[in-house]
Amino acid sequence: MSLPYKDFFDFRIPAGADWGRFEKASKRIPHHGEIIISSYPKCGTTLIQHIVFLLLRGGKPADTIAEVLEAIPFPEQDGLQGGVHPLALKYHLPFRLTPFSEDTRYIYVARNPKDACVSYYHFLKGLPGYSIESFDVFFEAFLSGQLPYGESMDHILEWYEASSQHSNIFFTTYESLAKKKEETVIDLAGFLGQAKLDHITLKNVMQYSSFEYMRSLASRDDFYKKYLQASTGSQKEKTKGDTNPQMMRKGMVGDWRNHFSESQSRRMDEHFRAKTKNMKWTFGWTEDMLYKQKN
């Protein structure tokens, strides 16, 4: 099973992507001190965007979701306006295609492939041009990497290896943000040069980057809905079912258990072990990927 995509320098990008924008995003030269946030799709980029936005503003929250998206744009998809210096940039490209500079700080967030698979499925299933019949069909495409942005573990491992070689890459996981958020935020603040994060700022970052607050911010007006429709093509073409992409669905660890069969879980485990067989640390995902949770 394969979902529609196009090749971009031996990497898979959405079939409807603007090649020129991707090329400009990939080949641009980063500004001194720039911050780039990256992940495989549906792995925590939105959460990290909000955390970085808040940290760089001393904990001051946005009034609208548009404020966050304009402060941390997505050049692969939306391009960049000339002369604009945003707080940070968002990318989904692999490390080899992301513009690199030792003067730039990179933040990468990984997510266990089972939850990433389910979240990506719910995002893509209603979009025009995909016609995904079921989760079982999507699972096969995800496992084989025959879909936009390719195989998730390849994406993660490429960035993880880069982070072991470059001190200006902060590598974290969605699970750390879910289970040890305060500790992870403090570490990230230190990486961004805010070693002495005051209590009030930390409290505000925690509060205003909560899943509930982010979702309420996105629902204050229809900007997010129109932005996602325009950027995914769902504004131009209607398909059966819901064609409104969801950036924030559940925000939890372990929802994959509501979708995976025991056989699918076993196959993903085997795939994961094969990809990480030479690694001492496997991102702390052992319990998160168990088919049956421990009591």
Catalytic residues: 92
Structure-block tokens of residue 141: 């495409």
| CA–CA distance, 77 with 55 (Å, rounded to integer) | 25
Return the structure tokens found at 219: 């629902």
Rounded to the nearest 5 degrees, what angle is found at the Cα of 74, between the Cα atoms of 73 and 77? 140
Containing 212, the helix (H) or strand (E) segment is: helix 211-218
Q: What share of the chain is helix, strand, coil (3-state, %, to 5)?
A: 45, 10, 45
3-state secondary structure of 178: helix
Which amino acid is it at 91? Y
Nearest residue to 1 (alpha-carbon basis) of 152, 149, 140: 140
d(CA 122, CA 138): 10
Listed residue (57, 120, 119) closest to 88, CA to CA:
57
For 25-80, the DSSP string reads HHHPPPPTT-EEEE-STTSSHHHHHHHHHHHHTTTPPPSSHHHHHHHS--HHHH--
CA distance 179 to 239: 37
- The residue whose two tokens read 């925690």 is 206
Start-to-end CA distance of the chain, whole Å, equals 36
- Both tokens of 295, joined, read 């009591």
Read off the amino acid at residue 166: H
